[in-house]
Amino acid sequence: MERDATPGLLAAAKEHWRSFLPVWVFPVIFLYGGLAADAVGHPELFFWVVATPLFFWSFFRATRFSIQRKIGPWRCAFWAMVVPSLIWVLAVFTRLAVLRVVTRS
């Protein structure tokens, strides 16, 4: 039985972190950029001009190593989909906690 030649979960992140970084930062940019665009009155413009292209660029940048078979698909799915989802949840709950503290004062 052959051993998997692709790096492990942490090794994949250490080796390709520069390519995963945009997809990790995207949820924060999407949340706060969307809030700022909504406050200015142009949420659709932000969504179509900034968020959508940034999403596709960061996602394809993060998943190219799986397509090139440099890392396994499950490792890529974890770093390119699960981690950004967790970052999104953390960013939303952090914002809600800050709003709760601010509105109590």
**Using CA atoms, how far apart are residues 68 and 78, in angstroms rounded to an integer?**
17
* Statement: residue 4 has pLDDT above 70: no
Q: Is 19 in contact with 62 (CB distance < 8 Å)?
A: yes
Q: Span 30-47, mean pLDDT?
A: 96
Answer yes or no: is pLDDT of 38 > 80. yes
- pLDDT tens, residue by residue, 39-97: 999 999 999 999 999 999 999 999 999 999 999 999 999 999 999 999 999 999 999 99
Rounded to whole angstroms, how far apart are CA atoms 80 and 73?
10
What is the DSSP secondary structure assignment for residue 1, as one 8-state letter?
A: -
pTM: 0.86
Query: pLDDT at position 1, please?
Result: 42
